Structure 1
Amino acid sequence: MDQLSLDFLPVELAEQLASHWTSIRLAAEEQGLALDAAIQLRAVEQGELGKQLAMAMVGSEFFIDQCRRNPAMLMTLLQRDLLHRKVNAVELRGSLAKFLAEVEDFDQLCRAIRQFRNRQMCRIIFRDFNRLASMQDTTAELSALADCCIDLSLQWLYQRQCADMGTPVNEAGMPQRMVVVGMGKLGAGELNLSSDIDLIFAFPERGQTRGGKKEIDNQTFFLKLGQQLIKALDQHTADGFVFRVDMRLRPWGQSGALALNFDAFEAYYRDHGREWERYAMIKARIVAGDMLNGEQLMGMLRPFVYRKYVDYSVIDALRSMKQMITREVARRGLNNDVKLGSGGIREIEFIAQVFQLIRGGRDVELQDRRLLRNLKLLKEYEYLPAEAVDELDAAYRFLRNSEHVIQGYQDKQTQALPMEEIHRLRHAVVMGFSDWQSYSEALDIHRSAVAMHFKYLIADPDEDQQNDEVGKEWGDIWLGIAEQQQAVEWLHRHGFDEVDDAWRQLCLLRDSKRVQMMQEAGRKRLDAFMPRLLAAVSEQENASALLLRMIPFVEAVLRRSAYMVLLMENPQALEQLVILCAASRWIAKQLADRPALLDELLNVESLYTVPDKQTLADELRTQLLRLPEDDLEGQMDVLRYFRSAHVLHVMASEVTGRLPLMKVSDYLTFIAEVILQQVIDLAWAAMTLKHGRPQRQGGGACDPGFIIVGYGKLGGLEMGHASDLDLVFLHDGDIMADTDGDKPISGQVFFTRLGQKIIHFLTTTTTQGELYEVDMRLRPSGNSGLLVSSLAAFERYEKNDAWTWEHQALVRSRAVAGDQQLMARFESLRRELLCQSRDPAKLRSEVTAMRHKMSEHLLPKGAKDHSTEVFHLKHGSGGIVDIEFMVQFAVLALAHRHNELAEWSDNIRILETLSQSQLLFGDKTEAIAEAYKAYRASSHRLAVQQRENTVSTDQYVEERKLVTDMWQQYLS
């Protein structure tokens, strides 16, 4: 016993181990093997080998039994030093291929793969129990072992069956191979020491076999092949088994066909797939067979698993699954189970997979099958607090290591903690504890933490609440149980003023065809949601009007009832929904049009926080990096959701008084600029990938040598919630030179297509709506001009051919995205153009003529008559446009002597510059600026409520008189 160190073991374990070691030595001696000498040799090299062997035998009777039955295997592991290093998937596959090289019949196949499996299991157990491998190393090697056993066995069986029955082909004569889908822990690459393997068999297309003794259909061929594969892996022989195979996760379960073609697969999940199957399919992975076609199958099934929207309905489904498991645990007395018991592995898996199902359609990184990787992402994305994730991570490692000790003992699929004292001691020692009490205390800490986090996330928000009379009353009203008189009186007592109208609208909604045609699950959600909504609405002023405003939202989510679940699962989000809809018609419409934005209501702190421009840029860049480079649809949806979400944040901050008007415009402008920069980057990457880079004048590649110039509200940093984008595209390339790629095109064609692609990104309507409306009419020569011009051509046009109104527009222009050097050159040119000397009389005449033309064409008819009782804030006399034209006149008239006027593109800072220099408007300048701010603030408020941009003529009387007086003084 000199080669085994037993001093570290409790006496009772050391005594047992001595007996086992003696039996192994005797078996080796009978076979003429010098096992002691081999251990002695390696002990010199490895130091702790004797102690490590003792630990493996203490923890695993399976290890002892394999060493006793086959001491030559242990000799091989020792002599090749396979116990102290990782073995990757390629090496495992190569080793098994050698085992199978001489196999001639099915029995030999079974013997070879079992002997190979037993050797690898002993190696893995040795490394795991001695902590020479991390938990992830162990599960990865076990998964790789399963992969190669399944795939190489399948190859051998397929070739043998083709020789007998012919090769299966499709209608075009192309050979067909089986696809093996690994589910559960195998699919995730997280297999246990004694896991069964959950498999699904598929094949691409229907057809017949060819070349065999008798032709059969592909379905029969793959059915027989699947049966043989299961037998090869699962059957118990004198050498044991390879893996227990479970096929119950296939379509229709045990009653379903053992193998289905791809079309049948897709039809099943489309028409019959259940929530628990979505949960199971998260971990699906092609583990063997036709890998290329297998990935096509995974792509077909992905829409079933991951929804495009934030899908809170899965919580209820997972909650139901957990309740079923909990009942089963109680019935079978499994509270001692580290997987299924309270605070066990299954609850950690549920926590991670809830977020995968809820958000995986949008945050594609969450589609990763690995649990620890997903926990890390939940921390990075702040979906869970960092402390909670750290506790779950530590608990998962501890529980999985415990599970390995349980299963490695006798190679049995169990997660039940040992009950006998000697086995508890053995378990504790392998886990690194001196006794069971110490281990049990550590286990309880981990399980308590998991149970707490699981309850917080999965628990029913209503389970601790009494079904009080108020809640019942709202339910009776919605369901029509309450009599009309009783319902009307209740509504009146709870803040509804226009009671009859509110009651009528509720009845119309409840009795509408769309509600009546809802599926049972959706109708149950609606009936649970509406009483909550009515109660929340009753807390707001003008409850009747608010209810009418929110009915379109309810109608919008009838077919997407997962959003109702989101609001019921998150009462705080429902509260914010009602508050914001009460404050703004615009918000109510946005949420009805894009219910996915409800996700933004979950975190109140972030809802009312507007990031700075750099943070916005970083966030958008990160979201786009999560998508494949060629996923155009995904990129466009990310851009649209990003814009809608952040505009909602701005609006929420505005209507609740947290953000003043000037900041609102700033942030809306920042959002547009950040999006435009990313659109340039995406379009540039797509174009250069295909055609290479265009060339600059004088040589060298453009990179990118392209900018977007913003005019109007974008250029003037005065964006509103519904503002379109007035854009001009400029480049610095050689239009005659070809690009440097494999498919060269001229510079002119390249930049034209680049501009078209940018417009396509911005204006195409997707499931997330349109990004922005784009107006390109301010480019040189307007609609008749080139879509993209060189900076040199732009300069020539502006100096020689531009109209005065085009120079007016230039006042409110800025380079907003693209090449930094070219942006700087544009700004220099803009200042030069604005600072040209002009004839004041001619300038005045042309500015007033354009103002008159605008008034004739753009001022609504009802606001043109001076006797009218409404004042149009933008186009009315003395309104916003008058101020803008006076500011533009001032810049064009005075900038040649006062260059500082050309520095700014926004009206307020130009007015501030005029005030500081005492130019044009004298002491009235600040008052004009205040009038401008007041008009814009009022316009914003009206836009928020989706009302016309008019006020009564008894408002802004002094401001209008001031502006008209100044106009008369300087421009008439």
Structure 2
Amino acid sequence: MIAWQKYIHKLPSLLQNRVQNHLACFQQALGSNTGLDFDQHIEKTLCFVWAISDYVARSCTHQPNLLFDLQDSGDLFRSYESNTYSNTLEQLLSNISYESELIAILRYFRRREMVRIIWRDLTHWAEIEETFIDLSKLAETCLNSALDYLQSWQTQQMGIPYGSSSNNPQKIIVLAMGKLGGEELNLSSDIDLIFVYPESGETQGGKKSISNEEYFTRLARSLIRVLSSLTPEGFVFRVDTRLRPDGDSGPLVSSFDAIKNYYQYQGRDWERYAMVKMRAVVGDQYTKNYLTNILHNFTYYPHSEPNVILSLKEMKSLINRELQQKKDEANIKLGVGGIREIEFIVQSFQLIYGGEDPNLQEQNIFFILNYLIKKDYLPSYIGDELRSAYVFLRQVENRIQAYRDEQTHTLPTNLENQIRLSFAMGYEDWEHFSIELNHHRNKIQRYFEELFTASSYIYYKTHPKEQLEQDQSTYHIDGSTNIALNPIDYLCPTKIAETLKQLEQSWSIRALSKRSQAQLKQLILRLLEIINHIEKPEQGLQRIVTLLEAIAKQPIYFDLLLKHPEILSQLANLCTASPFIARQLTHYPVLLAELANPNTLYQVPSFHQLAKNLEQLLSTSTSEDLDQKMDVLRHFRHREALRAAVADITGALPLMRIGDYLTYLAEVIVKKSLELSWQYLVNQYGYPCNIDINSPVENCSFIVIGYGKLGGYELGYSSDLDLVFLYNTFTDELANREQKTIHPTIFYSRLGQHLIQILQTLTPLGKLYDIDMRLRPGGTSGLLVNSFEFYKDYQYNQAWIWEHQALVRARFIAGDKQLATSFALLRNKILSRQRNLEELQTEICSMRSKMQSELDRSQSDLFDLKQGRGGIADIEFIAQYGVLAWSHKHPSLLKYPDNIRIIEELAQIGLISLEDSQKLTNSYRTYRAAANRLSLQEQDDLIESKYFDRERNEIQALWAKLLTA
């Protein structure tokens, strides 16, 4: 029997009782007849390990034979070979038949190996790199073994998935991201996974054929459930799939074509950064290599390009803003001088130089750090300090997580846990530990802050020596001060100088007071400092110079920019990124103040918050002057459109959310504009009969219907609003108000006219929206406002098929709630009428052909995203056809007015295949993303014909399949 007391006394006093309790529980679990007879290595370390890790102590008590097994097998004292995990788990799983057995054995296996790994890590029997490798191999082994069994069982039920092109059997490929990708898992890491399969197709040999997407989606969900579900025995590994294309809103699995298309046309800078750690961990070697090459083409540029550095600077700025906002110094991963900052420094070198040097495409941070030092990318002293700091912080992280097997990176705040962590790290108290911790964090923070600055090592590595030897250009401000434009900072210093000289010579600048000229000089100096870190500085400066000329007559803006340098920095980045944003700020400089608060600038409110914000903004105006309220509306619209554009450019919001937000913005403005128009009209003429004067506008017997992009939640930055106005009247006259009685038709016509006036009138703050009323009954020759009864009769007896197509994307926007319900019922009745499919196909094909001949601007080398064959309009027509053809049998098709959800519903019902639905929605998102980017660059929706060949061919094939009798 071991005399444990001599080992317990070596522990800090606050930890001794806990270890004694663990030993008593362990003895009880073993039984009174079993002694605690251990190898001398365990004997000397047990109290130390159990003092630090409750998880290990409780695991040993929960499974009393576990520790003896680790001792007797020798596993606790040796390093594993590469196949040890797989061989062990294969034996444990050899006789299972059910998923429940798989779940139980994986959890037992994980607990045993975690005890071994933690013990070896805490006692330094294993170096930290071995700990990371063991944890990563453990996760990979559990992942691969679980998939093997799950796929075998699923294939027995559903058949084997085959590719439609190759006709070969298909297997899932799993990409490990983050720390698993780098083989750097910590003790309680999630595993970040992306699921991919080679080809679309269907299963063969099962009870019924299903698409490959459905087959692999079910397989991925089964795997996540097996690994992540919490049972009395715990979990295996938590699985995080949010790094997949489109995140939580995207499909769980993607084909090679889909993933290639996504990263080619929609991949964002942060996804390129994340892909540095990507490693294929499941699949045959050929397939893994093929997919890896595809993704490396996205991740690494063939040579160092300025926009790589630009995107990294933007990410670094976001990290800095997050740090300033949270100020979470206790977080050793995300706090100042934390693990993330080291990872960012290292991965920046990989992204900048990885395209030229394939060795930098490795995922493991230890390998990369050593390589950066060896090849002189980093001075050896910096590399050594970063490596030492990284090891220290990861050891701290492991010891924090070893305590309870919890995913935390926060330093403890209570005394006992501070003593535990200090003791685990080998320090006599918290103060000495904190000194060493802060020493490392301060160095990390310094190197992180210097990254990309003129004094940093990476800065000079990205500027070849021959550039430094070129002649400098100078620019003179007020004839006395020279500003050197060093070629190290600018691609074209001569062009920079010319731009600034043009500014100096402009009439608005020459007319400035001496004070304003001095302010302008300061602004230019600051701008030159900022733009030398930006891609295409000449272009950015030109746009900002145009803005400076525009605001020169209002020097208050010079004061604003000088007092808030963060505005100037935001201004430089955003104007360079988008001429749309530059133009908005130039035309409406009042928006400049919005750039001062990045916390709100990069976030967009919900629909209800938008309405609340507008109400608050209007309430600050005490004046009843309608013109002033119109200006408030315009300022609000420009501000929120700017916010959406910023979120779009920086990738803070995905495409579909941008369309939703711009639509919400228009809805909120139309609702408020209708309220203002209603109040104006009743002040003039009184309330219509049967209208309660105490009721809000929701009972005004008038509604605004949104068609097109407004109806389908797809508004862009410069979209007009397709509107139709309807009213419901019960009498032939209005209540008399000062003898101004008018007929209801005139009243509601003037209400519609006044609403258009508010929305479309051009003021010094611009207009709210262009309004298109051509979809009303009779088009441009019809009445501006129609009674609901007339509209109902028109839809039943006079409307063309194309007008019913337009009705698919029509919905209530503002006005009377009861009349809105009547409209919704009418819409459903009209759309759900049973139609002759051949006639319907003929009508729709004829209309599409007519539109294409009149509107398609495609040329031999250009493709019209909207009207080109196989483009957006074709997808919209397919969705509209589906509603008109089948909603009489499937009313669920009438639920949504937007194309994506209509197409998804067509697949859900089984009217089109899941594969076809995916092709349509993927192409639609891709087209819209491209159109959005062009809009932000203020370019037409035309793109080189070589792009989107696959999408165009697929859409045309689906058109032929669905719309050919």
TM-score (norm 1): 0.49
Q: Max radius of gyration: which structure?
A: 1
TM-score (norm 2): 0.49
